[in-house]
Each structure stands twice: as C-alpha cells, then as structure tokens.
Amino acid sequence: MNDTETETLSVVVEREIPFAPERIWRALTQPHLIEEWLMKNDFAPVVGHNFAFRADWGGVDCRVMAVEPEKTLSYTWTAMGLETVVTWTLTPAGTGTHLRMEQSGFRADRQQAYQGAKMGWRKFFAGLEAVLAKTV
C-alpha cells in the first residue's frame, strides 16, 4: 500500500524486566503508580472507561479498549489533534517479563508528534522501571 495518506507509523519500546507480570500490571493500572512514572490520571482498567492523563504541558484524552489482566492493556491516546492507540503486552520470560509498548497510528505527516513520542516513551520507561524497582 503506497497511499501515504493512510500509512501510519508506530513507536515500539520493548524491555526484559526482572519482575513478574502481576507486579508490572499494577504499575500499568493503579492510578497512584501510573502518576509516579507517567502522568496524573483517573485511569481504571475497565473497557470503555474514558480517562485523562494530565501534565504541566496539557493533557491526553483516552478510552480503554482492551484489558486482559497481566497480559494486555490497550487504550486510545488523543492529544494535539492526533488519535493513536497505546498497547501494552506482557509476556512471562524466564524469571521476569518481556514488556512491549506500541503506540500506533502516527500519520507520516506528523513527524514532530512521532519523534516526540519516541523520546517520551524512552523517558517514561525509565520512570516505570524505577517505580517497579521500589514497589512490591
């Protein structure tokens, strides 16, 4: 498909994390923990739940699309006129978990948003790993 109008880009970050899926799941779904590594929020792991992330620079409007405890979490991510989808996948791996985050749906003409997400998710992942290291 060569139609650049419909072609989209994805940001993918993958890590092997030395913690069990249930521990990572808590950090991805409990509002007080999400706030420590991502942003203030009113998240609930319920399909159809509308929620928002809030930061100094503004916010992100979201809706939960899929919840499979300790395996998959997916939600829309609408900010600055662009709607993308964030999907978290947790796969047990040895003594830890393979964590994959994909933010899909960046249009090719939205390079600034795409590049910003690439940088942002690296920073968010570092924060997530720090939260995981100190929580039980």
Which domain does 29 fall in, by range? Answer: 9-134
Residue 85 belongs to domain with CATH number:
3.30.530.20
What angle separates helix 21-29 from helix 111-134, to the nearest 10 degrees? 120
For the stretch 78-95, pLDDT in tens is 998 899 999 999 999 999
Task: Supply the pLDDT for residue 1.
Answer: 42
Residue 1 covered by a domain? no
Number of independent structural domains in the chain: 1
- What pTM does this model have? 0.93
